[in-house]
Chain A
Amino acid sequence: MSKITDLNKIVENGDFENVEAAVQSCLDDGIEPMDVLNEGLVEPINQLGEKFANGDIFVPELLIASRAMKQGAAMLKPLIVSEDNPSMGKAVFCTVEGDMHDIGKNLVVMLLESAGFEVEDLGMDISPEAVVEAVQNDESIKIIGMSAMLTTTMYAMQETIEALTEAGLRDRVKIMVGGAPVHEDFANMIGADGFSTNAPTAVDLAEKLIAQ
């Protein structure tokens, strides 16, 4: 197990330069790729997520750890048969039109991927049409997450939900919204299925929504 523990430390420290070597070392030791992924890469991220929620660590620690984790995961992807690793579901996340704040969204995306979701990050400044297009192109999308930091860009959330309703797709997905100015009242008024103000609760919400 010590090879796994070594890998854990490397991820925790965000040591992306050495992560690939550490992953290889685990594989050479005969550990199954799935286990290297879950116990070596995903587990430390989950723990960091808890620490972040408790205020023991801060944004940069989580971000650099995720960078290291992603690098390691990319190495393992071709080795893992997808049936062994069923996804929780597919989600699409974005920062809405006109808005460029994305640290919060990036954290959520990262934690969701660790939790087993398949997440497509559309990026920032994403128009309502682009979200509708994404859902039309991919029938497997179950969750849509939108984030905004400014009151002026929050209107785009309302527009996006309307556009999805008009396209006849509203019933096919669950919509969650987030960002500092977002709150329950607003989320209800625009017809979202849920809202969250920080990354760890966003993951809980996504898990609840996907089960519905």
Chain B
Amino acid sequence: MKTGIGIDTGGTCTDAVIYDFENRKILSYAKTATTKDDLSVGIGQVIDLLPEDLVEKAEVIALSTTLATNACVENKGGRSKLMLFGVEPRNVARVGQEYGISMDGNLLFFDSHTKPNGDITKEPDWNDVDERIDRDLYDCDAVGIAELFSKKTGAVLEKRAAEMINAKMDIPVVCGHELFSENNIMRRGASTLLNARLISVINEFMHAVKTALDVRGIKTPFFVVRSDGSLMNEEFAMKRPIETLLCGPVASVMGALELSDEENCMIVDMGGTTTDIAFVKNGSAQKVKDGVRIGKWKTFVKGLFVDTFALGGDSGVVLSDSREIVLENEKVMPLCMAADTYPELLEYLRDEDKVNSCAVNPQKDIFVAIKDIRGRSGYTEREKHIVEMFLNKPMSLEKAGRLSGDIVLRRQMERLINEGIVLRCGITPTDAMHVKGEFTMYSQEAAEIGIRRIGRMTGRSTDETAELIYEEVKRKLYCNIIRIMLEDAYPELRAKGMDDQMQMVVRDSYDRVKNSDYAELIRMNFKTPAVLVGVGAPTHLFLEDVGKLIGARVITNEYSKVANALGAIVGSISAVITVEIRFNVSSNTYTVFGAGEKVTADELDEAKETARKIARAKACEEAIGRGAEDDLTVTFDEQENISDTKYGTLYLGCVITATATGHIKID
């Protein structure tokens, strides 16, 4: 029996599963809080929660981590520089910002000229390159190199510069052409630089993980999950940390797929603040066509196509002008949780409850400050004063006003709220779950008080109100699912967004499909053949009913909560290499280029053969480098662009992609 351990460090929780590959069963699972400051601590802790004997027997460990994503967003990274060949500083100054590269000391420009067809008309001054390597790179943790039109030149400048550096220093060097084959030197450069910056971050992390495992006597080799769901070994991961960006959502999807065994499904992951929906069509997860933007970096990393919208356990419940219950987009601290953390709040709530008021009064809104920014610059005196009042002391605006002898308005803390320094404490679906007894981790009493109050304002009982909140969650979930399905069918809708009328139709359809009493001639039953797979804690409470409305089978089982950890371990190793062919009209020859190679062929068939050979060889080489067994499966995808005009045919090119997949090599 072959088993492995999958671990996922998410935003809130670190999950682990022990998986039996042969029988495709989850043998055990565990969850613990993510230790944001040092992820390896949480990893060690969650392993401790698993049965020791199973852990010992596991042959491989796979890790899905948000490390890189967090580092990007928080702009953390090691000291690294990017060498740019053939790019003018003024152009980076003009356009670079969009991609995350700025004119700071991290960019080293080398003058050279390359024509769009790949002819290098002016080589860089290699003596100068040599000198500057000595002078500017000595204090770097890692170096990135990017060359203009590297795809067409065979990346000769990148390769030579890399050789020169490797001869002198022992620091990781990664070239643009190794990472991405797409056009756009700015984006490629930014991605390469980002990769270099992340190298020290991931190095540190890997060491920490290794230590945590060592300490527990675990010698199992571990692999890291990439943004496309496949795995790579430690060695590879240390060179290509950029590939771990956004691996979390993908792991979730892969896990859900494994659990549901469906070819076509929508994975619905409802979290605290947002719901993420991903698609799987014909067994493969839908990816974003363009690269993703993370923090300030616009990269070529192709993440999973995930539709994210505001809806979660912590979505705030408010009353609309017409006293209807509505879910807000902003994140709110559930009243039950706030009362649980801050007992004084419960006292306040009990007092308020006795008053029985049913007027809507914004001054009664409760806020709490969770970060102390008083020492930081960039905040006004008033803002600092507000933080001081509310720091870890949830209270209503009314009370704060009395304390400060002033009137405190929400408006005054708008920025603090946007930056997540101050949170409103209020009723959320989590509170409704408490009232209904389906989730009772926090203060049930506070939840009841809060919901009862809302009920009073709308003339309903507490139970009815909780039910209405559930309804709103389901409605919002339904509407978004319908929207996503429509956007999938009509890409223009996704690009332009649905207009008000369309939105109205979709919203209305929810009521209509539940209620067949409507007098109009139209019935609107949107249906889908897809299966809805629910992942994430509260999902199962809402997804089933929504599924019924659209005729979709819903799968949520006890393992949904660790789908992400499962997804980490079910991945295989894969390497994708792209080689292109272009026709040279002036010499009537074909050029094959890509993966750092450039070859000329006289005939098209010859060119295609060569391209396939190169793609296959490089893909296999890389797959093995990533940790696959020799027994690889290679598939090809070929896209040709031929345009017929009335004056003749133009051969615009061919793109051949080889994908080599294989199982993890377990020594």
Are A183 and B116 interface neighbours, CB within 8 A? no
B650 in the interface (beta carbon within 8 A): yes
Are A151 and B652 interface neighbours, CB within 8 A? no
A167 in the interface (beta carbon within 8 A): yes
Q: Within B611-667, which residues are at the interface with A (CB < 8 Å)?
A: 641, 643-650, 652-653
Interface centre among A162, A167, A180, A181 (most CB of B within 10 A): A167
Query: Which of the residues B117, B185, B186, B645 comes within 8 Å of A181, measured between beta carbons?
Result: B645
Q: How far is the CB of A12 from chain B (nearest CB, A)?
A: 35
Give Cα A183 to B99, complex, Å. 33
Q: How far is the CB of B258 from chain A (nearest CB, A)?
A: 38
Are A162 and B585 interface neighbours, CB within 8 A? no
Known: A168-B186, A168-B187. A163 touches B650 (CB 8 A): no
- The A interface, classified by DSSP as helix, strand, loop or mixed, is helix
Are B116 and A182 interface neighbours, CB within 8 A? no
Q: Within B177-207, which residues are at the interface with A (CB < 8 Å)?
A: 183-187
Are A166 and B116 interface neighbours, CB within 8 A? yes
Residue of A nearest to B642 (CB): A189
Are A159 and B117 interface neighbours, CB within 8 A? yes
Residue of A nearest to B182 (CB): A165
Which chain B residues lie closer than 8 Å to A122 at the CB level? none
A71 in the interface (beta carbon within 8 A): no
Are A186 and B645 interface neighbours, CB within 8 A? yes
Query: Which of the residues B90, B184, B641 comes within 8 Å of A166, measured between beta carbons?
Result: B184
A185 in the interface (beta carbon within 8 A): yes
Known: A152-B585, A159-B116, A160-B116. A167 touches B643 (CB 8 A): no
Interface centre among A139, A165, A168, A189 (most CB of B within 10 A): A168
Which chain A residues lie closer than 8 Å to B91 at the CB level? 136, 167-168
Question: How large, as a class, is the contact surface on chain B?
Answer: 20 to 34
Give Cα A158 to B650, complex, Å. 11
Which chain A residues lie closer than 8 Å to B649 at the CB level? 151
Are A154 and B183 interface neighbours, CB within 8 A? no
Known: A152-B585, A162-B116, A189-B652. A168 touches B185 (CB 8 A): yes
Which chain B residues lie closer than 8 Å to A152 at the CB level? 585
A77 in the interface (beta carbon within 8 A): no
Give Cα A171 to B183, complex, Å. 13
Which chain B residues lie closer than 8 Å to A160 at the CB level? 116
Q: Within A74-128, which residues are at the interface with B (CB < 8 Å)?
A: 127-128
Q: How far is the CB of A151 from chain B (nearest CB, A)?
A: 4
Q: Interface code A144-165, partner B: CB below 8 Å = 1, 0 otherwise?
A: 0000001110110011101101
Which chain A residues lie closer than 8 Å to B184 at the CB level? 165-166, 168, 170
Are A151 and B648 interface neighbours, CB within 8 A? yes
Q: Interface code B113-144, partner A: CB below 8 Å = 1, 0 otherwise?
A: 00111000000000000000000000000000
Residue of A nearest to B90 (CB): A136
A190 in the interface (beta carbon within 8 A): yes
A51 in the interface (beta carbon within 8 A): no
Are A181 and B644 interface neighbours, CB within 8 A? no
Are A169 and B95 interface neighbours, CB within 8 A? yes
11 extra interface residue pairs, beta carbon distance < 8 Å, beyond A127-B115, A159-B117, A162-B183: A129-B116, A136-B88, A152-B585, A155-B583, A166-B184, A167-B91, A167-B186, A168-B91, A168-B99, A168-B185, A189-B652
14 contacts between A and B (CB under 8 A): A128-B116, A136-B94, A151-B648, A155-B650, A159-B116, A159-B117, A166-B149, A167-B91, A181-B645, A181-B647, A181-B648, A183-B643, A185-B644, A189-B652
